[in-house]
Amino acid sequence: MKYLLTFSFIIWLACAGFAGIGFNDVPKGHWAYDSVYDLVRMGVTGGYPDGTFQGTREVSRYEIASFLSKLSRYLNEGDAVEEKLLSELKNEVAVIKFEQNEIDRKVKFYGKVESGAIVSPTVNRGGKFDYRLKLSMLRDFDYDSNLKITLDTVDAGFNSSSDRPFATKLIDVEGKFKIGAYYYKVNLGPGVVPHVDSEGIFPSENYTIYIRPKTAVEVSRKIGKLSWSGSYVTRQVQTSGKIGVHELTTNIEYNYGFASVNFRPRYLFEIDGPHDFLAELGVDCEPVKKYKIKVLLGVGSPRDGTSGMYLKLIKEINDPWQTGTNIVARFDKVGSKYRDNYLDEYEFIYLNNFDRLILDGMVDIGLRIDQKIFDDLSLQWKGDYVTDGCYRYGAAYPETYFLWQLGLNYKLSSTIAVEVFYRAYNVPSEIAQFADPVPAFSDLFGVKISTSF
């Protein structure tokens, strides 16, 4: 009986019919019809000369051995065919991958053009048209090494008061490569580029900052969840070519689950001149989905207490109500003695919502709200409320201001976007950053078109 069960199990393994042979005792509709004819098709078994299959007859061990041998041979032949097809497929994939890598390693060009116009409804002195071109050339040599050259016109095309030498202010070069377990990056660039409007038609545009790569050498390595990098940065390169300020900095970051901790000390000095040391400790975390928090504490002059410190808080809320609403709230408080003005340390504090510096002794409270209306249409409000270090704002407190903007963004395509906005700038003391005299209130309307390629 056990042989009958074994044989029945072999028959049950198959699942397709055989059209060339028919058995009298296995008519169409029989419960084992498909299994029987599938085994016949595979050559595992056959019928008797009288045209029957005799599925209820007991089988011997010899017959079982014969059935299993034929089944094994059939399966091996199938595996051989599959292995051949798989081998051919792997070869085809390797060829395609090689061809794609060759294409990727060729020189690639990409960039962005931004053009816009602004006009003030309260100042009858005409408007302004500007543009900015960013064009990059990238050459990949392998997976870990490449060379990138970028042209960035910043404000050179429309700011008559600026002096932007082509080679030293508009071009930057970046090279990356790997040796052993270490990654290296070499930059040649102008660093921070401030925009200064000598005509003063649009005060909110004055002292906005363009962030460009600095001339630097960096080495980095990652070991598990720990990342490390060390850099030498040249700052204030004089017209003679002599380096004004040297910077040595390192960054250590550890990622743990939903949070990461980083520590960045910086040492700045001039040869036979002043020197300064700053250190930053930051924590980035995402305690729950859609909520991100960043906390950063900087120490520049410990002996001066809180006057020598810097505190930053950022909270991001991404679409909490499933309405397409994204909110970023930030708080920056910079001690009055945190940085050394002689060593050009302004950009160590992140720029605010309008790409403006946050100066020592000031508090900047920023908010940005993005509201999606349709797939390609969104509304944005952003603002920065700036007070002195004691949270005072008004005519008696120079450099305090309230700057806000409401804009509508529309994506015409994946590469073209249009923005229309209104901006208002309130400076009750009429003294803006860097003791710049401005009206107590100014505003503007603007339109901007950006094209990526």
Long-range interactions of 365-371: CB distance < 8 A, separation 24+: 365/330, 365/331, 365/332, 366/328, 366/329, 366/330, 366/331, 366/332, 367/327, 367/328, 367/329, 367/330, 368/327, 368/328, 369/325, 369/326, 369/327, 370/325, 370/326, 370/327, 371/323, 371/324, 371/325
Domain range for 349 is 105-452
Phi, psi of 402 (to 5 degrees): -130, 120
Domain boundary among 67, 101, 135: 101
Domain closes at, from 80, 101, 122: 101
> Do 113 and 41 fall into the same domain?
no
Give the tokens for residue 132: 């900015």
The CATH number of the domain holding residue 253 is 2.40.160.10
Give 172's pLDDT tier (boundaries 50, 70, 90): very high
Which tens digit of pLDDT belongs to each residue from 404-428? 999 999 999 999 999 999 999 999 9
Q: Are residues 243 and 301 in the same domain?
A: yes
Between 390 and 32, residue with greater pLDDT: 390
Is the confidence at residue 158, as pLDDT, over 60? Answer: yes
Q: Residue range 85-103: average pLDDT?
A: 67
Residue 168 sits in the same domain as residue 316:
yes
Distance CA 341, CA 199 (A): 26
The count of structural domains within the chain is: 2
Q: Which pLDDT score is estimated for 104? A: 61
Mean pLDDT, residues 81-99? 67
Tens of pLDDT, residues 141-151: 888 899 999 99
> Do 356 and 211 fall into the same domain?
yes
User: At which residue do the structure tokens 């249409």 appear?
Assistant: 377
Residue 424 half-sphere exposure toward CB, CA atoms < 13 A:
8
Predicted confidence at residue 84, as pLDDT, reads 67
Read off the pLDDT of each residue in 342-353 and give the average, rounded to a whole number.
79
Is residue 197 domain-shared with residue 71, that is, in the same domain?
no
pLDDT of amino acid 304: 87
Residue 238 and residue 176 share a domain:
yes
- The verdict on 202 and 57 lying in the same domain is no
> How many other C-beta atoms lie within 10 A of the C-beta of residue 84?
10
> Mean of the per-residue pLDDT values for the chain?
85
Question: Within a 10 A sphere around the Cβ of 207, how many other Cβ atoms?
Answer: 18
For residues 178 and 321, membership in a common domain is answered with: yes
Last residue of a domain, one of 73, 101, 129: 101
Residue 289 confidence (pLDDT):
85
Nearest to 362 by CA among 339, 329, 342: 339
Chain CA centroid to CA 205, Å: 27
Q: Considering the entire predicted model, what is its pTM? A: 0.76
Same domain, 31 and 175: no
pLDDT category of residue 299 using cuts at 50, 70 and 90: very high
Q: Are residues 204 and 93 part of one domain?
A: no
Residues 15-72 pLDDT 10s: 333 344 577 777 777 777 777 777 777 776 777 777 777 677 777 767 766 767 776 7
Determine the Cα–Cα distance for residues 135 and 114; give it in Å rounded to an integer: 12
Joined tokens for residue 222: 């990652």
Long-range contact pairs involving 234-243 (C-beta distance under 8 Å, separation at least 24) = 235/191, 235/268, 235/343, 235/344, 236/344, 237/168
Each residue of 204-254: pLDDT tens digit? 998 899 989 999 999 999 999 999 999 999 976 665 667 788 999 999 999
Residue 185 pLDDT grade (very low, low, confident, very high; cuts 50, 70, 90):
very high
**Looking at the DSSP assignment, which residues form a beta bridge with residue 432?**
436
pLDDT digit string (tens) for 311-333?
Answer: 999 999 999 999 999 999 999 99
| Residues 17, 43 share a domain | yes
Across the range 70-88, mean pLDDT stands at: 66
Residue 188 has pLDDT above 90, yes or no: yes
pLDDT for the residue numbered 303: 85
Give pLDDT, residue 351. Answer: 93
pLDDT at residue 13 above 50?
no
Q: Do 91 and 118 fall into the same domain?
A: no
Q: Is 60 exposed, middle or buried (0-12, 13-18, 19+ CB in 10 A)?
A: exposed
**CB of 122 within 8 A of CB of 138?**
no
